[in-house]
Structure 1
Amino acid sequence: MKLRKWIAITTVLAMLGMTGCTPAADSAGKAATPDESPADSGAAAATASEFESLEPVNIEDFMGSPVISDYIPDECNLSGTKEDGSKWKLAWCCADDSDESMAFMTGLMQQAADEYGFELVRYDAQSDPQKQTDHINNAITQGCDAIIVNPVDASALSIPMKKAKDAGLVVINSQNRIADTSGYDCYVGPDDTMAAQQMASVLMEMLPDGGKIVMIDGMMGSTAQINRTAGFRGVMQNYPQYEIVEEQSAQWSTAEAMNIMESYLSKYPEIDAVFSHFDLATLAAIQSTQNVGREDEIMFFSVDGTQGALDEIAKNGCFKSTSMQDFKANTAIQVMAALAYLNGDGDKVDKETVTPNVVITADNAGKFEAGWG
């Protein structure tokens, strides 16, 4: 599918609040309203001095998928049935199944249930923290043995998740970490700070002499936005040859990302690179740049790993790299961690199981299938 047609479709989806962006796991993962201007969406005003100093990473260390056995040892008992032959009962508490990445995870959960032989109870919170709280309470009363929770809101879900753990359920915190570590047995998910650190490192390799950079953020105040900003700025602040001239939030909206990029292009005659917090923003920004014939001047970098992004990066054009969340690996590890705990092998799994994103460039983009987007 041509980029212009693809962007037109995803722009409509974004305006309907249906973008397949991973950060929909946060409560703030709603699209901006169509009449919201870039200024209204909230420019990020933080200065470089506010961020922890970070170093570039070795990109070659992140070009392949996570090895599952590095996180779930082979000796773990992963049986989907109890000693009496009955099935373990696991609940998957999804933040919002209308989000394409979350729907992909739901499908993977069902495949795992079929493979391991456990009973899967599926809940869709539809981005409503209260609904997800009710789902967790239902999982307790329905006699579930474990729950895997992708929190709609990391703060609001801490108490109900702790309640489930206190009730004797194994609790796996998926993707969006809650602050209260006593509310889960194991966290399995990505490191958004490292993801942005990866992209800063790739940018520096591809633009070694420095340059002027603009940023397009996700929803201000969301976990992903905070950490992706911290990771990118934490590296860049150490290298004065790189200047971040402006940063604005697109609220996870593709349409808003296009508006922001159009504003940047009119304000800045020189832009060397764009770092976006989500792939759909990058694809939209590329469209805006193509509309004025400046795509050959600018390099684009982002986070997510949608199939659309992988396809564009494989063309070796202006979209240079993305940090891809490996949903297949993360989902498998989450299920396997729950089964390990249920079968008495939880002590063999790290409580904080953080999986690295895969750095996608033109060199390896054709070797991966995102499964969504």
Structure 2
Amino acid sequence: MSRKIEFGKGLTRRDVLRLGITSAAAALGSSFIQTSAWGETGVEGKTIGFSMSYSNLEWIKLQQAGVEETAKKYNLKTVVYDATDQPTKEIQNLEDLITRGVDAILISTYYADAIRPAIKEINNAGIPIIVLSSPLAPGADFACHLATDTLGTARQAGEFYVKKLGGKGNIVEIDGKPGSLINQQRGKGWHDVIDKVPGIKVVSHLVANYDRQQALKVMEDALQANSGIDAVFAHNDDMALGAIQAAREAGRLKSMMFTGFDGLTIDALQAIDRGELTATWEYSPFGVEAVEAAVRVLQKKPIQKVISFPSPLITKDNLADYYDAAAKKRRVLPSRLTFS
């Protein structure tokens, strides 16, 4: 059932956040406008909110596109909020989705700890949450969390490095956002493997916040500080591409191996095709799957609490499965979310 809250009738916005939707409904009585004429799937006309910490990365842009396009497929309304990398604004956005009376909230956050108060309010309001990628803080209630085995994939990346480098080499590591749990797991899993190999050393550990231009700058500094670099382990493709540009401009591109994560953008796939980016591990943005999970929840059908997807390795050997070189387009892969 769709709900719209009308204020100015005895309850403030903060009152609704405190009471939750059920209690507020009782207090407001006819202040809720209810509709119940649904179509074939039973969710047409309902509203889902989508909250993201920021939207300036290609991965997140693809996530947002997946949410909006799939919502249209199911005739769902969407309310999309971008916190522009401000945790306090993200809290405000989530609170606003509560006051709007949305039927479900999709959350893609890098600030799990900071937004705890808003998550508690959503839980009190009884609005189901679908979590995309990074987990919420412990204790939060959610209907479904879509993720990958990030730690396991990072360990695979470590094994890839040990094999490719023959157990010996100097590596530059470029972090994304230090506060991101996904970023932390990518680093931990990789280090779990390479730190056990005496011949492999991390000669520079840098931070570029998942940004290509920042990676270009810090890689320039690393190149000046280190005469011998054998590989660059970047926590996403954009940063790997920035490092590649820096190495190319320094005339040192051919002496290094570069890897990333995501495997979604044309730039990254073309870099693999050119032999500049050695490998990447696909990391689904989950936009399509998040809406499908929300539909399942709104239909009150069973769904797994946590659904983990694989992160396949993409190299030049299997690039054709992901990239159409003639059309210069990424191959569209179907949703990987299936229900019995």
C-alpha distance in 2 between matches for 1:165 and 1:155:
15
The DSSP-based 3-state class of the residue aligned with 2:278 is strand
C-alpha RMSD of the superposition: 2.4
Task: Report the equivalent of 2:314.
Answer: 360
| Larger CA deviation: 218-227 vs 301-310 | 218-227
- Count of aligned pairs: 286
For residues 105-142 of structure 1, what are the alpha-carbon distances to aligned partners after superposition, in whole Å with 9 as ceiling and x for unaligned? 22222221222222222223222323322222222222
C-alpha distance in 2 between matches for 1:260 and 1:127:
21
**Structure 2 vs 1, CA of residues 255 and 114 (structure 1 numbering), >3 Å: closer, same or farther?**
closer
Tell me which of 156, 159, 177 is aligned to 2:135: 177
C-alpha distance in 2 between matches for 1:354 and 1:318:
30
Tell me which of 169, 174, 185 is aligned to 1:211: 169
Tell me which of 335, 339, 347 is aligned to 2:291: 335
C-alpha distance in 2 between matches for 1:124 and 1:292:
37
Task: Report the equivalent of 2:4.
Answer: none
Among all aligned residue pairs of Structure 1 and Structure 2, give the percentage whose two residues are the same amino acid.
27
Task: Report the equivalent of 2:269.
Answer: 310
C-alpha distance in 2 between matches for 1:80 and 1:90:
15
Task: Report the equivalent of 1:292.
Answer: 250
**Structure 2 vs 1, CA of residues 133 and 234 (structure 1 numbering), >3 Å: closer, same or farther?**
same
The 5-angstrom pairing of residues 61-140 of structure 1 reads 80-82=41-43, 87-140=45-98
**Structure 2 vs 1, CA of residues 96 and 262 (structure 1 numbering), >3 Å: closer, same or farther?**
closer
C-alpha distance in 2 between matches for 1:222 and 1:191:
15
C-alpha distance in 2 between matches for 1:242 and 1:277:
18
The DSSP-based 3-state class of the residue aligned with 1:182 is coil
C-alpha distance in 1 between matches for 2:287 and 2:178:
27
For residues 229-287 of structure 1, what are the alpha-carbon distances to aligned partners after superposition, in whole Å with 9 as ceiling and x for unaligned? 10111111222232222312223343332233233323333222111112222222222
**Structure 2 vs 1, CA of residues 110 and 299 (structure 1 numbering), >3 Å: closer, same or farther?**
same
C-alpha distance in 1 between matches for 2:40 and 2:118:
27
Q: Determine whether 1:245 maps to 2:199.
A: no
Q: How big is the shift at 1:79?
A: 6.5
The DSSP-based 3-state class of the residue aligned with 1:130 is helix
The DSSP-based 3-state class of the residue aligned with 1:332 is helix
Instruction: Give the TM-score normalised by the residue count of structure 2.
Output: 0.76
Question: AA paired with 1:336?
Answer: E
**Structure 2 vs 1, CA of residues 97 and 287 (structure 1 numbering), >3 Å: closer, same or farther?**
closer
Q: Determine whether 1:279 maps to 2:237.
A: yes
Tell me which of 322, 341, 344 is aligned to 2:300: 344
The DSSP-based 3-state class of the residue aligned with 2:201 is strand
Q: Determine whether 1:166 maps to 2:127.
A: no
C-alpha distance in 1 between matches for 2:228 and 2:59:
35
**Structure 2 vs 1, CA of residues 207 and 336 (structure 1 numbering), >3 Å: closer, same or farther?**
same
- Note if contact 2:46-2:77 (Cα within 8 Å) is conserved in structure 1: yes
- Note if contact 1:95-1:102 (Cα within 8 Å) is conserved in structure 2: no
The DSSP-based 3-state class of the residue aligned with 1:127 is coil
Which has the higher Rg, Structure 1 or Structure 2? 2
Instruction: Give the TM-score normalised by the residue count of structure 1.
Output: 0.70
Task: Report the equivalent of 2:31.
Answer: none
Q: How big is the shift at 1:360?
A: 1.2
- Note if contact 1:193-1:228 (Cα within 8 Å) is conserved in structure 2: yes
Structure 2, unaligned runs of 5 or more? 1-38, 323-329, 333-340
Structure 1, unaligned runs of 5 or more? 1-77
Q: How big is the shift at 1:311?
A: 0.9
For residues 297-339 of structure 1, what are the alpha-carbon distances to aligned partners after superposition, in whole Å with 9 as ceiling and x for unaligned? 1111122323211111122x24201122122xx2222112212
Using CA pairs below 8 Å that are at least 6 residues apart, which structure has the higher relative contact order?
Answer: 1
Q: How big is the shift at 1:186?
A: 1.6
Task: Report the equivalent of 1:156.
Answer: 114
- Note if contact 1:80-1:117 (Cα within 8 Å) is conserved in structure 2: no
- Note if contact 1:90-1:121 (Cα within 8 Å) is conserved in structure 2: yes
Question: AA paired with 1:307?
Answer: I
The DSSP-based 3-state class of the residue aligned with 2:171 is strand
C-alpha distance in 2 between matches for 1:240 and 1:297:
21
**Structure 2 vs 1, CA of residues 139 and 269 (structure 1 numbering), >3 Å: closer, same or farther?**
closer
- Note if contact 2:106-2:131 (Cα within 8 Å) is conserved in structure 1: yes
Q: How big is the shift at 1:152?
A: 4.6
Indicate the structure with greater strand content. 2
